[in-house]
Amino acid sequence: MSQFDELTGVVGRVVFYNEENGYAVFVIQLKGTDTVTVKGCIPTIQPGQQVSLSGLWVMHPKFGRQFDAKTCTSNIPNSILGLKKYLGSGLIKGIGPVYAERLVDKFGSNVIDIIENQPEKLGTVPGIGPKRLEVIVAAWQDQKEISKVMIFLQDKGVSTTYATKIYKKYGQESIALITENPYRLADDIWGIGFKKADQIAQNLGFEKTSLKRITSGVLFVISQELNNGHLYIELENLKVKTIEILELSGINDSEINNESNNNSGNTSIALKIKSALHNLYSSEKIKLVSLDNEHFVTLSQYYFSEKNIATKILKLNERTIRHDFDINDIYNKIRVPKHERDLELNEEQQAGILSCFQNKVSVITGGPGTGKTTLIKKLLEMLDAHNLVYKLAAPTGRAAKRMFEGTGRHAATIHRMLEFDFTNFTFKHNEQNALQLDFLIVDEASMIDVFLANSLLKAVPFDAHIVFIGDIYQLPSVGAGNFLKDLIASGKAASICLQKIFRQAQDSMIVVNAHRINNGEFPLSSMPDSRKDFIYIKEDNPENVPMHLESIYKKGLYKFGISHRDAIVLVPMHRGSVGTQKLNYDLQNILNNSVNIKKISYSGVDYKIGDPVMQLRNNYDKNVFNGDIGNIIDINLEDRELIVDFDGRAVEYDYSDLNELVLAYSVSIHKSQGSEYAAAIVPIFTQHFTLLQRNLIYTAITRAKKLCIFIGQARAIAMAIKNNKSLVRKTFLKEYLTTDLQAR
């Protein structure tokens, strides 16, 4: 075994740092003028820090001799230059290079002692007022505690970013809580999944067959099913997958019996899993549903969400219609327009409007060009004529904006309409505080998952009518469940499907090809008298996609009068040469590559002013939601913050929150649901084969308003169109609506 060498020096420059795993490359200055390049996984590193390293000398084939650090301990520097570098590195929020210079010039080598013990003196430095002083003091205390957590976690495989999040969640109890049960991290810290928590647990000495590990493993398997859209998993399948995930198949009974933390009654893995399930059931974390001699398991909150949806739909249907509508009068008014400017409806649209008045719960579906927006506009005219109160809503901000543009009436996201209450982390509008309305009209209903559907229906008064509008041929919701399709299949909502394409839409190749794809036919590049709004670029080599994108963005869009800010690249996957991660990197280099633009780096990605970014999770504190897209309008390097504009609302992101954002020059087709773009560019290649389905590319083409460009292999497009067997999600909403199925 090689003998470790020891080095001590001052960090001069950080060449590279990966926030996710702590891997760093940096230069330290030894005594005198000698410098050494160091690499290794370091809990935190800042210029100016004094570090003591233990490791081995290695020879890099390109960069020469380097020091491979296995351990690193750091001390606060004591030299004037080191202190300026250290404080100016961004380590402490509120102190950047400018204030670091002023502080060290004012207090010299005593500056750290002043910050620690006499922080009120910082207010004598020009520019440091009460607010900044408060920020600096809080940040100094936080970084000390975070450093303790980082040191504890550095050999447990946890990055500095997650250490910061852990401290924000647990505070000074962080180490104690993690030591007691590291599996709580998977539930409490967004971004730390079961596998990372399990790695920490095993590094802390938890046995592979400990009950806490098996219980967490069961919940992880259920959560995987939920991530795939299912609400339930068959019981025996759950047990098998738990054994696979936890790699327990090779462990025999004697190994279990020898464990110190083993319960005497648990003499096999099967019994341990049974015990875990029993504990989860007793604590009401899971529910068991039996149907046709099969048993299914889900998390309690998902069961109650689906069950509550069914209960509310059935109760709405039981209520008599409060308003005395003259259906014949309504029919006459929508059948024959009185004025030239009046909207003319076909028979399907007329039936849809009548259904909305005759039924408490209605569903209107249809593809592009079939007149859903025209139907909504006419419905609103009729509601105005009857002096009825209504609200328009959609699952996403972009979908709500489209609704407003199509109708001229105010539309809100469902989240904002329901008003989130930060005091108890629930929506303000619910069973006890229903929305004040007669009609609720919800667009893009295929995007609604069971949680959002449940929250929405809770807030609907029993006397109201609710109208769901959507396109059932699109991809299902990103979240779990299949709300719209299950509702239609149950027969408990009046359902009208608009199929006739309006004449003015028939000259759009986008509309024509969307319907061709939906019918299993290959898209056409042109037709006589049609608008050239669909282009197919045949390309067999995925490596050439960036070349095509550069040509499209720098020349092609201009010909159609489209700004690059109104275009987006939609792809099936995140990884690969034609995945969102690679294409975002390429498009940033094409569209936002000035060296003078202010930027901040996180996990190997540069975020620059002007970049579009997308939110990855619902963040109720910031009032931004999964799939929201905004633009970076400012970056504060001193406070390590960036500001994102979401439709005119500026939202601040601390450095530790940046894992909630990704660049959004390119997004997945799933994430594009509910949005509409002037131009949608869609690369399709066989490397996407696992996701190539008809509803995928149908969803992609229907996101384009003025121009859609397909790039890729004809074989890949044909594979997707042919594959109409989308995954059937395991849900029970239809059964809850039509039978007395109950959990136990």
Express each pLDDT in 663-672 by its tens digit.
999 999 998 9
Q: Do the Cβ atoms of 448 and 478 come closer than 8 Å?
A: no
pLDDT of residue 259: 46
Q: Do the Cβ atoms of 456 and 448 come closer than 8 Å?
A: yes
**What order of strands is seen across the sheet that includes strand 494-498?**
411-413, 390-394, 439-442, 465-470, 361-366, 494-498
The percent of residues above 70 in pLDDT, for the chain, comes to 93
pLDDT of residue 160: 63
pLDDT of residue 249: 78
CB burial of residue 7 (10 Å; 0-12, 13-18, 19+): middle
Which of the residue ranges 150-159, 220-229, 457-466, 612-621 would you say has the lowest mean pLDDT?
150-159
- Token readout for 45 is 């590193």
Beta-carbon-side half-sphere exposure of residue 386 (alpha carbons within 13 Å): 20
Which of the residue ranges 65-79, 579-593, 683-697 would you say has the lowest mean pLDDT?
65-79
* HEC profile of 488-537: HHHCCCEEEEECCCCHHHCCEHHHHHHHHHHCCCCCCCCCCCCECCEEEE
Give residues with Cβ within 8 angstroms of 459, minimum separation 6: 418, 427, 429, 430, 431, 433, 434, 435
Of 149, 141, 104, 103, residue with least CA distance to 125: 103
pLDDT class of 603 with cuts at 50, 70, 90? confident
pLDDT of residue 647: 85
Distance CA 417, CA 392 (A): 9
Q: Tell me, rounded to whole angstroms, the distance of Cα 292 from its chain centroid.
A: 36
Q: Do the Cβ atoms of 293 and 262 come closer than 8 Å?
A: no
Q: Do the Cβ atoms of 393 and 440 come closer than 8 Å?
A: yes
pLDDT of residue 389: 95
pLDDT class of 2 with cuts at 50, 70, 90? low
Distance CA 719, CA 345 (A): 37
Pick 225 or 335 by higher pLDDT.
225
The type of residue at 229 is G
- Token readout for 530 is 């049609």
Distance CA 405, CA 407 (A): 6
What is the tens place of the pLDDT at every residue in 193-245?
898 889 888 888 889 999 999 999 999 999 999 989 999 999 999 999 999 99
Which of the residue ranges 387-391, 519-523, 583-587, 621-625 would you say has the lowest mean pLDDT?
621-625
pLDDT of residue 260: 41
pLDDT of residue 263: 44
Q: Is the pLDDT of residue 328 over 70?
A: yes
pLDDT of residue 265: 40
Of 441, 434, 435, 436, residue with least CA distance to 382: 441
pLDDT of residue 674: 81
pLDDT class of 528 with cuts at 50, 70, 90? low
pLDDT class of 257 with cuts at 50, 70, 90? very low
Q: Do the Cβ atoms of 665 and 569 come closer than 8 Å?
A: yes
pLDDT of residue 657: 86
Task: Tell me which residue has tokens 């495989």.
Answer: 157
Q: Is the pLDDT of residue 258 over 60?
A: no
Q: What residues pair up with 514 in beta bridges, in sequence order?
A: none
Q: How do 494-498 and 649-654 pair as beta strands? A: unpaired
Which of the residue ranges 287-296, 309-318, 323-332, 676-685 would you say has the lowest mean pLDDT?
323-332
Of 240, 237, 232, residue with least CA distance to 270: 240
- Token readout for 656 is 């530790």
3 state SS of 457 = helix
Q: Is the pLDDT of residue 563 over 50?
A: yes
Pick 28 or 79 by higher pLDDT.
28
Pick 2 or 496 by higher pLDDT.
496
Quote the pTM value.
0.80
The H or E element spanning position 730 is none
pLDDT class of 273 with cuts at 50, 70, 90? very high
DSSP 544: G
Q: Is the pLDDT of residue 330 over 90?
A: no
The type of residue at 457 is L
pLDDT class of 339 with cuts at 50, 70, 90? low
What is the mean predicted confidence (pLDDT) over 623-629?
87
The type of residue at 104 is V
Helices H, strands E: what count in the chain? 27, 28
